[in-house]
């Protein structure tokens, strides 16, 4: 550790190796967190103003979604200058102040690294598109038309083709996301060197690591082959040709050498990987391979997607959710490491999605938090999740801001199919990303304490009773529950390193597992349903002498019945 590194919040944790295994990360989506200057958009000073909230919660690391210069086509995931802070969010000095303020409180800062693509307004891209002879031409992925049309059949994540024609030079460029997010050509060594240089610049400035946006997409199959077209889809599934492509491990190892290897060990890296399987994640997160510390996979957050994708929904299947978690827990038990999340800025709110946000709001929010946080891995809390924030009651298309939702809606409307457009709107209302992006509910005043101006996206009306001010001082609140979960991870080594074993795998109502190390065993049992659960065989007898570590009901025993969304955690000392 050098003197510029912050003192660790929990000195009992090893100061160097793999400290992040005992850490909890909190994600800030700056646009929606807190607005300090009344323009209706959250900003860096707004974050600085609310650090007490994060310190109270006890989190170790803040992951900040992009604040770099950006035209904001995709709320900052389209970067036009990696070395500048967008005036929407503040200045570089504000960011330095945030880094110092976090470090002073023993917290670390992880920045978002968005390098699969840039903004089309980045100077690298404006140079690249200026002519076929531009020295930067090869920094992006340009192809001639095929039969007068797109070079292949890949679809963009945000609807339509993944290719856009540049009229001036007569070639198409690839954009897996919006057409304002052209993909960089990672096969060009100059591109990689420029990215590593930028990463080093930020680490030298004092940040503590990176969350790497869609990082498994950086190596495309050199021939860019067509993808298979599934029924009812207009575009081919290209992901098998760009997800974890041929050189992705080589590039991540090179990045490790060029950026991380000569630095102190207390940095943290997490890669977002839409295509990750447990087998791939073992490769990416095996410390001996020197790639990443952990990845975000998408398996559990895809389980309620219907046949038409995320905007068609199917009922939540608890058995499938448990099966998925157990598969990942087991696959990364000996090698690698899991990240644990229900929410982020792209996902609907967990209490509305997998819980019950009306009758059992408090119970289901705490039960879902518990089953996630007591597994093996590094937990991530998305802003507002610690308050049990819910999905938004969107009324009409005017309430949405997210380009993904709007693009799909406009596409359906253009096809003139009004019933499809209506179905899509219903799907967007429950599955769309804006559910996660309504302002953080600080208090019960008209704009929830988020802004004194007009918020860029509507505030959820339930902020009148669901807010931080109401919860911060209430020992029975969801906030207090999260604080306890964070504290337990810091205090109980079995939560960090214990073996995981799923119990009652096929039961459709309860989520139960044990964590065990040489000295301690934990039993976590949650009724993940809105009906009472009656034990057929008593799960409790073996644990009769155990200590109750946590319960979200005033009393109860594991011998007979669990109330709807009741969760109980027991702890036993082993011989
Ligand atoms: O929500 C999704 C689209 O259906 C996800 O698949 C999402 O696009 C995917 O998780 C990649 O997300 C990341 O990169 C995107 C950005 O829009 C997301 O906000 C970011 O988390 C492009 O940079
Ligand atoms: Ca602002």
DSSP state letters, 253-285:
HHHIIIIITTS-S--EEEEE-TT--HHHHHHHH
Give the whole-angstrom CA distance, residue 174 versus residue 364. 43
Q: By three-state DSSP, how is residue 111 classified?
A: strand
Give the β-pairing of 547-551 and 567-573. antiparallel
Judge whether 9 lies within some domain: no
Q: Is residue 8 part of a domain?
A: no
Same domain, 416 and 503: no
* Residue ending a domain, choose from 486, 510, 532: 486
Q: What is the pLDDT of residue 559?
A: 66
Would 329 be classed as within a structural domain? yes
Kindly state whether residue 202 falls inside one of the protein's structural domains: yes
Tally of domains in the chain: 3
CATH code where residue 164 lies: 3.90.400.10
Which residue among 213, 345, 401 is best mutated to probe the pocket of ligand 1, counting the most ligand atoms within 8 A of its Cβ?
A: 213
Q: Other C-beta atoms within 10 Å of 327: how many?
A: 15
Residue 141 sits in the same domain as residue 205:
no
385 and 453 housed in the same domain: yes
- What per-residue confidence (pLDDT) applies to 232? 78
Do 111 and 134 have their domain in common?
no
Q: Which atom of ligand 1 is nearest to the CA of 344?
A: 21
Alpha-carbon gap, residue 184 to 213, rounded angstroms: 13
Q: Which two tokens stand for residue 104?
A: 């002073």
Same domain, 324 and 378: yes
H/E run at residue 61: strand 61-64
CA of 77 to the centre of ligand 2 (A): 18
How many CB atoms are closer than 10 A to CB 424?
23
Residue to substitute in 31, 64, 77 for testing ligand 1 pocket (most ligand atoms within 8 angstroms of CB): 77
Within a domain: 427 = yes
Q: Which of 360, 381, 284, 367 is nearest to 29 (CA)?
A: 381
Asked whether residue 114 falls in the same domain as residue 138, the answer is: no
184 CA to middle of ligand 2, Å?
31
Q: Which residues are catalytic?
A: 213, 272
1 part of a folded domain: no
Q: Is 402 in the pocket of ligand 1 (CB under 6 A)?
A: no
Where are the extended beta strands (E) located within 86-200?
Answer: 108-113, 142-143, 163-166, 171-174
CB-CB contact of 132 with 144 (8 Å): no
Upper half-sphere CA count for residue 399 (Cβ side, 13 Å): 19
403 lines ligand 1 (CB under 6 A): no
**Structural domain harbouring 87:** 23-118+189-486
169 and 61 within one domain: no
* Dist. CA 272 → ligand 1 center (Å): 9
Q: Which pLDDT belongs to residue 75?
A: 98
Same domain flag for 474 and 558: no
Say if residue 393 is in the same domain as residue 330. yes
Together in a domain, 211 and 352: yes
3-state helix, strand, coil split of the chain in percent (to 5) is: 35, 20, 50
Q: How far is residue 388 from each of residues 75, 315, 325, 455, 461, measured CA to CA in Å? A: 24, 21, 22, 21, 14
User: Burial letters for 204-233: b for 16+ Cβ neighbours within 10 Å, e otherwise?
Assistant: eebbbbbbbbbbbbbbbeeebebbeeeeee
Q: Does 141 share its domain with 90?
A: no
**Does ligand 1 come within 6 angstroms of the Cβ of 408?**
no
Tell me whether residue 35 is in a domain.
Answer: yes
CA angle at 42 for the pair 38 and 46, rounded to the nearest 5°? 85
Helix (H, G, I), strand (E, B) or coil at 57: helix
Last residue of a domain, which of 458, 486, 514?
486
> Minimum-distance ligand to the CA of 44?
2
Angstrom distance (rounded) from CA 199 to CA 262: 13
For atom 3 of ligand 1, which residue has the closest CA? 157
Residues 430 and 320 in one domain: yes
Three-state SS annotation for 474-521 = CCCCHHHHHHHHHHHHHHCHHHHHCEEEEECCCCCCEEEEEEECCCEE
What averages of pLDDT result for each successive group of 10 residues across the chain (575 residues)?
Answer: 40 62 98 98 98 98 98 98 98 98 98 98 98 98 98 96 98 98 98 98 97 98 95 90 98 98 88 98 97 98 94 95 98 97 98 98 98 98 99 94 95 86 93 98 98 98 98 97 98 97 96 97 97 79 88 81 95 90
Q: Is 3 inside any structural domain?
A: no
Ligand 1 pocket test: pick from 76, 118, 214 the residue with the most ligand atoms within 8 Å of its Cβ: 214
Task: Confirm if 468 and 442 have CB atoms less than 8 A apart.
Answer: yes
Residues 459, 439 contacting (CB under 8 angstroms): yes
Cβ partners under 8 Å of residue 195, min gap 6: 115, 184, 255
346 CA → ligand 1 middle, Å: 6
Q: Which residue is closest in CA terms to ligand 1's atom 19?
A: 346
- Which residue in the block uniquely carries the two structure tokens 């604080």? 483
User: Does ligand 1 come within 6 angstroms of the Cβ of 376?
Assistant: no
Which residue, 486, 509, 541, sits at the end of a domain?
486
Report the Cα 562 to chain-centroid distance in Å. Answer: 31
Query: In which residue are the tokens 């939560």 written?
Result: 495
Q: Point out the ligand 1 atom lying closest to the alpha carbon of residue 298.
A: 10
């Amino acid at each position: 550790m050098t003197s510029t590194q912050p003192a660790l919040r929990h000195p009992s944790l090893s100061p160097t190796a793999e400290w992040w295994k005992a850490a909890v990360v909190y994600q800030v989506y700056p646009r929606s967190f807190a607005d300090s200057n009344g323009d209706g958009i959250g900003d860096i000073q707004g974050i600085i103003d609310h650090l007490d909230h994060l310190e109270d919660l006890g989190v170790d690391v803040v992951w900040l979604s992009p604040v770099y210069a950006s035209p904001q086509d995709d709320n900052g995931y389209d970067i036009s200058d990696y070395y500048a802070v967008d005036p929407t969010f503040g200045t570089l000095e504000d960011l330095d102040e945030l880094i110092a303020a976090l470090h002073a409180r023993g917290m670390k800062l992880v920045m978002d690294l968005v390098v699969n693509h840039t903004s089309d307004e980045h100077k690298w891209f404006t140079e690249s598109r200026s002519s076929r002879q531009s020295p930067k031409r090869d920094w992006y992925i340009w192809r001639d038309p095929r039969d007068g049309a797109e070079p292949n059949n890949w679809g963009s994540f945000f609807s339509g083709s993944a290719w856009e024609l540049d009229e001036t030079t007569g070639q198409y460029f690839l954009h897996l996301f919006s057409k304002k997010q052209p993909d960089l050509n990672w096969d060009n060594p100059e591109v990689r060197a420029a990215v590593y240089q930028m990463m080093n610049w930020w680490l030298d400035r004092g940040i503590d690591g990176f969350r790497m946006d869609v990082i498994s997409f950086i190596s495309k199959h050199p021939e860019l082959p067509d993808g298979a077209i599934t029924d009812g889809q207009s575009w081919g599934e290209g992901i098998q040709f760009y997800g974890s492509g041929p050189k992705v491990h080589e590039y991540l190892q090179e990045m490790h050498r060029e950026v991380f290897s000569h630095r102190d060990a207390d940095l943290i890296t997490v890669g977002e990987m839409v295509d990750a399987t447990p087998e791939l994640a073992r490769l990416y997160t095996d410390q001996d391979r020197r790639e990443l510390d952990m990845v975000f996979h998408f398996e559990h957050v895809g389980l309620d997607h219907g046949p038409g994708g995320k905007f068609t929904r199917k009922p939540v299947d608890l058995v499938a959710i448990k099966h998925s978690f157990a598969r990942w827990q087991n696959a990364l038990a000996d090698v690698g490491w899991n990240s644990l999340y229900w929410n982020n800025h792209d996902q609907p709110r967990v209490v509305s999605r997998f819980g019950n946000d009306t009758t059992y709001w408090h119970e289901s929010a705490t039960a879902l938090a518990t089953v996630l946080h007591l597994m093996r891995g590094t937990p991530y809390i998305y802003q507002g999740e610690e308050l049990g924030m819910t999905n938004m009651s969107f009324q009409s298309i005017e309430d949405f801001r997210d380009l993904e939702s709007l693009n799909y809606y406009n596409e359906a409307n253009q096809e003139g199919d009004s019933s499809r457009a209506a179905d899509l709107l219903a799907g967007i209302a429950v599955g769309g990303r804006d559910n996660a992006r309504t302002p953080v509910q600080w208090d019960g005043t008209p704009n929830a304490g988020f802004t004194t101006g007009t918020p860029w996206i509507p505030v959820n009306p339930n902020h009148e009773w669901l807010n931080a001010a109401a919860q911060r001082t209430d020992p029975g609140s969801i906030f207090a529950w999260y604080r306890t979960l964070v504290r337990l991870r810091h205090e109980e080594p079995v939560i960090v390193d214990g073996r995981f074993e799923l119990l009652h795998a096929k039961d459709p109502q309860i989520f139960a597992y044990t964590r065990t190390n040489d000295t301690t065993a934990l039993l976590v049992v949650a009724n993940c349903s809105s009906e009472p659960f009656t034990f057929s065989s008593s799960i409790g007898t073996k644990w009769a002498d155990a200590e109750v570590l946590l319960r979200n009901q005033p009393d109860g025993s594991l011998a007979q019945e669990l109330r709807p969304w009741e969760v109980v955690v027991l702890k036993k000392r082993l011989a």
